[in-house]
Structure 1
Amino acid sequence: MKFFRSPYLSFWLAVLVSLLGLAFWVSCSPETVFRYTSESGPIERLTEWAYLGAMGITLLFGVSLLKRKTLVAVLIVLGYMAAREADLHKALFSISILKIKFWLSGSYPLTSKLIAAAVLLPVAWAVGYLLAFRTISVLAGVRERMSHAISIIMIVAVTAISKVLDRSLNALVELFGWQFPQWLWSFQASQEELLECLIPFLFLVALFQYRSYIRQRGMSFFSNY
C-alpha cells in the first residue's frame, strides 16, 4: 500500500498514539489512568506481549531480509526491552541493574556487579554493533527519504521521549523536592506508557517497510556489511 510505504508513517503513528493518550487522560480520572498504566496494568502487559510478538515476527521474516549479525542484534534488543517492561532488570537484586546507583553503591559486592555486567553484555554488544555498522546506512536512507530508515529513527526518538517522560517529574522531585498535582502525574503516565507500547509496533513497521523496499529494488539495504 502507498500509505504503508510513506516515509512519514511512523511519525504520524507516534502523533496518533500521543493524541490517543491525551484523549484517554482528558476522558478519565487520574485514578483510572493510573490503574491502566500501572506496572501490572493492561497497557504494560500489552507492551510486553507486543515485544515478544515483534521478536517472533522479526525472526520469521528477518532471516531472509537481514544479515545474521543484524538479525541477532535486533532480536537481543527486542528481548531486553521486553525484559525491562517485565521489570526483570530488578529481579537479580533489590535495585535495577540499569541504575548508576547500583554500580556506584558499595552495598553490592563485586561479584554482584560482575553478574550484572554479564547479563548486560549481550545488549551492550547488540547496541554497539547496530550503532557501529548500521548508523551510516540508516542516515543515508533518511537523506533519501526511505520509509524504513525514517522509521528506525522514529524508534530511537520515541524511545528517548518515553524515557524522558518517565523520569522527568521524578527527577524534579528527587532534585528539588517539588510536588506535582495528580492530574500532571496522570498526564505523564498516559503519554509515556502509550508511547512505550508503540515502540515494538514501530519495529514491525520498519521491518515490513524494509521488506517492501528490497522487493522493489531487488537489493539489500545492508548489503555492504
Structure 2
Amino acid sequence: MPSVLNVSAYLFTPIDDAGALRPVLRTRAVDAGLKGTILLAEEGINLFLAGEERHLRAFLAQLTADERFAALAPKESWSSAQPFRKMLVKVKREIIRMDRPAVRPVAGRAPAVDAETLRRWLDRGHDDRGREVVLLDTRNAFEVDYGTFDGALSWGIERFTQFPDAAVSHRDDLTGKTVVSFCTGGIRCEKAAIHLREEGVDAYQLDGGILGYFERVGRAHWSGDCFVFDEREALTPGLAPREVDA
C-alpha cells in the first residue's frame, strides 16, 4: 500500500519577503521530514513535496494559515517510496520562467475551464457556443512524448521561454476557435492563456492542469501518461506511478 503522500501546488500571490521566507519554510519542511522543492518569487509560490501524510498535512496547514497562501489547492498522489532526494527552497525571479514581465497572473487570471466542462466539450466536439475547441499543450516536447490529450496541438518547444514566440508564429491557426491551454499542474498554462489573450486569441486555461483533470475525470480523451519532475518519472491517469517493463 503506497504510504508516501505527494503534493504539488502553486499560487500567484504577491510575496515581498521571499528571501526572509525561504529559511523559515526550509526549516519547517526539514523538521517535518519532507523532501521536494519550493520555489518562491515576487509573483508567488510553486511547490512539490512528499513525506509522511501527517507531517505533510501539518506543514500545509501552517503554510495556508498565512493569508497569502490560503488559496493554495494542492493536488495529491501516492507512492511507495520517497520520490525526491533533497529538500530545496529557492528564491527565483519567476516561479515558472517565461521572460515576459507583462504577463502577471497575480494581477488577474485568464478565464479557466474546469475538468468536467472540458470533458463535456470534447465529448460533444465543440464548446457551449458550438465553436471548435483546440487543445494546446504548453509543455516541453519531451514531456508531450509521454502522453497528451487526443488531437492536442504541440509546438515542439524545448523550454517555456520559447512559448511566446511560438504563439506569434501560430496565432492565425487559433483565430476564431476556443483554445484551452493545458500543462501538468496548471502553472504554465495559466501564463500561456494570459499571453494568448494578449495576442487576440480566445484562450482559456485548464483549471488544475492535467493532474487535476486526472483526479476529477480520469483518462477520458487522454492517451499515455503524464511526465512529472521527480523520480516517479510519470503518472498514469489513475495518479499512480507508471510501471515500466524490465
TM-score by length of 1: 0.27
Per residue, is there more strand in 1 or in 2? 2
Per residue, is there more helix in 1 or in 2? 1
Which protein has the larger Cα radius of gyration, Structure 1 or Structure 2? 1
